[in-house]
Amino acid sequence: MCVILESDGTAAAVKFIRGGKKLHDRRKRFLGKIAVKRSQTGILNPHEQDNKHLWEKIRAIDDYEAHRISRRIVDFAKEYGAGIIVFEHLKKYRPRKSKYSAKANQRRSYWLRGRIQKYARYKAWQEGILTCLISPYNTSRLCHICGSEIARYDKEPEGYRPGAPLYSCSCGKCGNADFNAAANIGKKLLSRYLKPFGKPEGVSVVQEAS
C-alpha cells in the first residue's frame, strides 16, 4: 500500500502493489520441498548449503520482487512529486509457532521487506528523493482522522483483530486498514518534519500489509 500525502495531511493518491500472496505461496512450495528432503536425508554437511538449487531459486525470486516493488514505489513517488518516501521502522522479527516451511516463509517475507527498503533507498536517492523510517507504534490502532481507537475486522466491525483488512471508527470513517496505517505513518513524519524545516512538497508513504 502506497499513499501520497500532501503537506496538510490529505491523501492525494493511493497505489496497491499486488503480487504478495502469489510470491508467498510460490516460496512456501520451495520451502516445503526443502523440508521434505531434509526429513529424508537430513543436513548432510553443516558447513555446506543443502538443497542448493532450491535455495538459489528462493533467493532469486525474492531479489527480483524486491527490485520490482522498490522500483514501483520510487516511480509512484516521482510521478506525484513527493520529496520523501516514508517506511515503517521494522521491529525485531518474532516468528509464530508453526511448521518449518511456514515459519521459514514468515522469516523470508520479513527479510524481503527490509530488502525492499534498502533497494528503494538508493533508487530514490538517484531521483533526488529522501527516505525516512517512522515508528509504526499505534498507527494501526488509531483513526488517521480523529485519533480514536478503531475496530479492525474481516466482515463485521467487532473489536480489533490484528492483520484484518478493514477498519471502522466511531467518527464514521471506514475503509482499508493498511491505508489508515499508512496515513498515520505519514502524519507522524509531517508533525515532526514541519516544525524545524517548513512544509515539504509531498510525502509518499509505504505501508506493508501485515
In angstroms, the Cα distances linking 140 to 111, 194, 207 are: 21, 23, 10
Q: For residue 38, which phi and psi values (nearest 5 degrees)?
A: -65, -35
| pLDDT the model gives residue 191 | 85
Helix, strand, coil percentages in the chain from 3-state DSSP, rounded to 5: 45, 15, 35
Q: pLDDT digits over 42-70, tens only?
A: 666 667 777 889 999 999 999 999 999 99
For residue 149, the tally of other CB atoms under 10 A from its CB is 12
User: What are the residue boundaries of the structural domains of the chain, listed by start?
Assistant: 2-206
**Can you spell out the DSSP letters for 135-199?**
--TTTTTB-TTT--B-EEESSS--SB-TT-SEEE-TTS-EEEHHHHHHHHHHHHHHHHHHHHH--
Percent of the residues in the chain that have a pLDDT greater than 70, as a whole number: 84
- Cβ atoms within 10 Å of 12's Cβ, excluding its own: 14
- Where is pLDDT greater, at 69 or 195? 69
Distance of CA 109 to the CA centre of its chain: 10
Average pLDDT over residues 63-82: 95
- The residue whose grid cell reads 513527493 is 82
pLDDT (0 to 100) of residue 91: 74
For residue range 134-171, list pLDDT tens digits in order. 998 999 999 999 999 999 998 877 778 888 899 999 99
d(CA 30, CA 8): 46
- Which pTM does this prediction carry? 0.82
Residue of 59 and 97 predicted with greater confidence: 59
